[in-house]
Structure 1
Amino acid sequence: MRMIGAAAFLGVLAGWASAEGAERDWAHKDWRAEMRGEVCSIHTGGDAEGSFRLEFDRGGFNAEAIYHPLWYRSEPQPLDFDDGFEILIDGEAIWLGDELSVYVGADEYGDYFRAAALTSGFVQELATALRAGGRIGFVVLRAGREPALYDELSLSGFTANFLKAAEWCGFNPDALPAS
C-alpha cells in the first residue's frame, strides 16, 4: 500500500513539474500560439515587418498587447516616448490607440528596444475588435510630422490562435479577468 501511495505521489509531482515547464506551439494561418511554462502568447509579423503579440498568464491574468515596430540595430529607435498612436482595424481607427504607450525592453541578446504596450485593462476590448477584423494597423502620431502608418498586419488566424491560448491557459476568451 505504501508503494502505491508513493508511486501516486511521485506521479502527481511529475505531472505538476511537466505542466510547469510545458512548452507548446501551434500555428494557424498568419498567427502562432505558444505556451512557455505558465504563459501563453499569440503573435504575428516579424519577417521584414513589425510584430504584434498578446500574452496571458494562467487564467488570463496579466494580459498584455505589445506592438514592436520593425527596427534595425544600426538605425535610430523608431518610437519616441512622446509618440501617440492610432490602432486601425480594417482601415478604421478605434479609440484604443489612446491606450498605447512606449516602453523600453531588452531582447534575448541584451539589446534595448522601444515598443508600445496597451494598458492591460483594455486587452479584452482589443481582442474582441481583432476577432471581428481582417487587418490591424499601427499609426504613429509624432509632433511636427504627418501621421505614419508603421505596420498593417493580417488578422487571418487570430481567432483560432486566441482560442488556443484560452484553452491552454484556462481563461474565458470572452471575459478576461481584470488585471
Structure 2
Amino acid sequence: MKIMIVGLLALLASPSWADGFWEYGSWRVIVQEVDTGEDIRRTCSAVTGGDGQPSVVVSVSNGDVGPPDFFPTVLVRETAPRGFKTVMQNGQAAYIRFDDEDVMDGMVYASLDDEGFAFAEIAFDHPLSQWVLRAMRKNGQFDVVVEGKVFMYAYMDGFTASYLKMAEECGFDGEGVVE
C-alpha cells in the first residue's frame, strides 16, 4: 500500500500535460491548455512584471513552428483599467537597452481589446526576436525607453530557466537561444 501511495504522489509531482505554473527569479512560466474541438493546444508563456505593472511576455504554442526555425515574439505589454489610457501611445518610438549597451529599436502599437480595455505593446517578432532572446539570456536587465524616457525595467534573473521550461512544456528546446 505504501508503494502505491508513493507512486501516486510521484505521478502528481511530475510534470503533466495540464495547466501549470512555475517561478524562476523574477520570471513566471504559465502553461494553459485549450481544447479547440480538433485538438488540444498548449500555450506556454514566460512572463515578468504584471500585477498592474507593465510586463514582458514570451509565448509559444505546441501548434507553432517553433525554435530553432521560428523564435517566439518578445512582447513588452501595458494594460490600463477600463476608461483609462495607457502611458505608451500608438506610434511612439521605443527601444530596449541592455546592460551591455546593446539596443533594439521598436515602435508602440496601442489600441483597445475586445472588452474595451486600453493596451499598448512593443513587439519584437521573428527574426529579431532571436537576437532579443539571446540578449535577454546574457544580460541582467533591460530598460524599455519610450520617446527618450525610461518606461520600465525588466530584470533577467530566472529568464533562462523560464525560457527553457516554457520551451520544454510546449515541446521545444533552447536551441538558438541557450546553446
| TM-score (structure 1 length as normaliser) | 0.71
- The residue aligned with 1:84 is 93
Between the aligned residues of both structures, percent identity stands at 26
Q: From the superposition, tell whether residues 150 and 91 of structure 1 become closer, same or farther in structure 2 (CA, over 3 Å).
A: farther
What does residue 157 of structure 1 align with? Answer: 158
Larger radius of gyration: 1
Superposed counterparts of 1:1-179, under 5 Å: 19=17, 22-37=18-33, 38-47=42-51, 49-58=53-62, 60=66, 63-69=72-78, 71-73=80-82, 75-90=84-99, 92-94=101-103, 96-98=104-106, 100-104=107-111, 106=113, 110-141=116-147, 147-175=148-176
Whether the aligned pair in 1 keeps the contact of 2:81 and 2:118 (CA below 8 Å) is: no
Aligned length in residues:
149
Instruction: State the distance in 1 between where 2:143 and 2:121 align.
Output: 15
What whole-Å deviation, never above 9, does each CA across 1:144-163 have from its counterpart, x for those lacking one?
xxx11000121111011001
Residue of structure 1 equivalent to 2:4: none
Q: Which amino acid aligns with 2:168?
A: E
* CA RMSD after TM alignment: 2.5
Q: Distance in 1 between matches of 2:117 and 2:140?
A: 33
Deviations 1:8-50 (A, max 9, x none): xxxxxxxxxx94xx21111111100011122110000124532
Query: Structure 2 regions of 5+ residues with no counterpart?
Result: 1-15, 34-41
Q: Which has the higher helix share?
A: 1
Long gaps (5+) in structure 1: 1-17, 142-146
